[in-house]
Amino acid sequence: MSTVFIHGGTVVSTTGAQPLDILVEGETIVALLHPGSTALGADLRTTADTVVDATGKYVIPGGVDGHTHMQMPFGGTEASDTFETGTRAAAWGGTTTIVDFAVQKPGERVQDTLELWHRKAAGQCAIDYGFHQIVGEVNDESLKGMAELVSEGVTSFKLFMAYPGVFYSDDGRILRAMQTAADLGALLMMHAENGIAIDVLVAQSVARGDTAPYFHGTSRPWQLEEEATHRAIMLAELTGAPLYVVHVSARQALEQIAVARGRGQNVFAETCPQYLYLSLEEQLGAPGFEGAKWVCSTPLRARAEGHQDALWRYLRTGDVTTVSTDHCPFCMKDQKEMGRGDFSKIPNGIGGVEHRMDLMFQGVAKGLISLERWVQVCCTAPARMFGMYPRKGVIAPGADADIVVYDPKGHTSIGYGKTHHMNMDHSAWEGFEIDGHVDTVLSRGRIVVDGGSYHGSAGHGRFVKRELSQNLL
Ligand code: URP
Ligand code: ZN
Ligand code: ZN
Ligand code: ZN
């Protein structure tokens, strides 16, 4: 079995950082060695098949992005990254596992849609991948299907309070799906926005002639995120389902989640880098049609209302559990362009699977979160939350050798034509400068990125059969 020895670095976990050398055999981490403590460590520098010098660098678990949409049909088109291009971009950015969403639409069987997503991903992925299931139609059959999916390693289910006529579930259907999730011990994920009220505001905005991308934001106000989040929390409380609220962007929605957690309820918030850094005024409000690049739901929020600051604060204190990307890329040409003159026809989504680890490290560099919290929200917590721990999300003997060597003295200039490997004709992160750099990435023991070169291959990534996550709080 081939061996990799990573020496000289500082291994970061959720509880601290210490100098440790790492021995990998095949696909697995087999030992952590205190540098200089054994003759073995000195020997391995010459005897290991591959030696990585991590002196002066952080060594962290590979990133786990719990929310992506590769090649998802949506808004009359399809997300522009395939499993191949999207997972390669993820690897470049230090993410070694994604959990993508299989999509059930009305009239389809969840088992069939999962099968379809398996076919899309099989043989294509550069890194490991799992699936959540979107339940677009809650009925007797899909509820029965949920049990079957859990036994196949798909242990989380997303419902939508938004997008009437597409994915939307009413409260009765939500209640039934939550009862089933509670019975199974499965995680219920919620897109919490009041889509019925939003559709009225959208129609009114377009009728008034307020059709620019900016009005996507103003027609999805925070009140309708707070309201839906509260409703989801109450339905989850009633049924006992663990609840994971995806892509939270409003301060007030987070306050609802923090209160529920304070009561001891199993409720978790996910946010995304776009909600921490970007805003209604600056991005959605960019001149002309530019703002279309940042049309996503929940929307980017007004900086003047303090959402971004609140998200960083909750991230620090623990009431935001995970940071995912909600990677759902669309090109401007032929895709976002569909909504020129009517923002409601702009396909919703931002691409960012490549930049999450860097963007969140910038929070460390700026002193907004600790090094340990960076690893927790980007790697360990999503692995635990989605039933992949301790195989993923931790550097420990027995874990998969998914490892990132991160250089805090390095520098990353994000932008199209710079560090961009996603299949998009623009970057939502153009001009972001990061005080850090992904140097080396291992996926199950194989070096996939090193020294600015890509060594991965489509098909290396395998499906991860996930467990039910125990002990969620
Ligand atoms: O705008 C977004 N978030 N697009 C992806 C689908 C979703 O709602 O997560
Ligand atoms: Zn969503
Ligand atoms: Zn999403
Ligand atoms: Zn570097």
At 73-105, the pLDDT tens digits run 999 999 999 999 999 999 999 999 999 999 999
CATH of domain 62-385: 3.20.20.140
Cα-based distances in Å from 252 to 32, 243, 314, 453: 43, 17, 12, 43
For the record, the structure tokens of 136 come out as 């677009």
Whether residue 22 is predicted with pLDDT greater than 60 in this model: the reply is yes
Confidence of residue 240 (pLDDT cuts 50, 70, 90): very high
pLDDT in tens, 150-168: 999 999 999 999 999 999 9
Confidence of residue 37 (pLDDT cuts 50, 70, 90): confident
- Which part of the chain has CATH 3.20.20.140? 62-385
Round to whole Å and give the CA distance between 451 and 456: 13
* 49 CA to centre of ligand 1 in angstroms: 43
What is the per-residue DSSP string for 116-148? HHHHHHTTT-SSEEEEEEEESS-SHHHHHHHHH
Q: Which atom of ligand 1 is nearest to the CA of 295?
A: 1
What's the mean per-residue pLDDT of the chain?
Answer: 97
- Residue 380 has a pLDDT of 98
* 67 CA to centre of ligand 3 in angstroms: 6
* 42 CA to centre of ligand 3 in angstroms: 47
Contact 314, 258 (CB under 8 A): yes
Cα-based distances in Å from 265 to 186, 189, 257, 314, 453: 15, 15, 9, 17, 45
**Contact residues of ligand 1, CB 6 A cut-off:** 69, 191, 247, 296-297, 326, 328, 348-349
* 65 CA to centre of ligand 2 in angstroms: 15
Partner residues linked to 6 by β-bridges: 22, 52
CA-nearest residue, atom 9 of ligand 1: 326
Whether residue 139 is predicted with pLDDT greater than 60 in this model: the reply is yes
Confidence of residue 439 (pLDDT cuts 50, 70, 90): very high
In Å, the largest CA–CA distance within the chain is 75
Q: Which CATH class is domain 3-60+394-454?
A: mainly beta
pLDDT in tens, 371-407: 999 999 999 999 999 999 999 999 999 999 999 999 9
Which ligand is nearest the CA of 132, by number?
Answer: 3
pLDDT in tens, 260-281: 999 999 999 999 999 999 999 9
Q: Which atom of ligand 1 is nearest to the CA of 158?
A: 9
Round to whole Å and give the CA distance between 59 and 56: 10
CA-nearest residue, atom 3 of ligand 1: 297
CA-nearest residue, atom 7 of ligand 1: 297
- Residue 312 has a pLDDT of 98
CA-nearest residue, atom 5 of ligand 1: 349
Q: Which atom of ligand 1 is nearest to the CA of 69?
A: 5
Q: Which atom of ligand 1 is nearest to the CA of 296?
A: 1
Total-model pTM = 0.98
- Residue 156 has a pLDDT of 98
- Residue 472 has a pLDDT of 64
Which ligand is nearest the CA of 437, by number?
Answer: 4
Which ligand is nearest the CA of 100, by number?
Answer: 3
* 39 CA to centre of ligand 4 in angstroms: 29
Q: Which of 158, 274, 328, 343 to mutate to test the pocket of ligand 1 (most atoms within 8 A of CB)?
A: 328
* 190 CA to centre of ligand 3 in angstroms: 10
- Residue 470 has a pLDDT of 66
- Residue 39 has a pLDDT of 83
Q: Which of 216, 296, 344 to mutate to test the pocket of ligand 1 (most atoms within 8 A of CB)?
A: 296
Whether residue 248 is predicted with pLDDT greater than 60 in this model: the reply is yes
* 223 CA to centre of ligand 4 in angstroms: 43
Which ligand is nearest the CA of 58, by number?
Answer: 4
Confidence of residue 40 (pLDDT cuts 50, 70, 90): confident
Whether residue 473 is predicted with pLDDT greater than 60 in this model: the reply is no
Contact 189, 182 (CB under 8 A): no
Q: What is the predicted ipTM?
A: 0.94
CA-nearest residue, atom 8 of ligand 1: 297
* 102 CA to centre of ligand 2 in angstroms: 13
* 38 CA to centre of ligand 3 in angstroms: 47
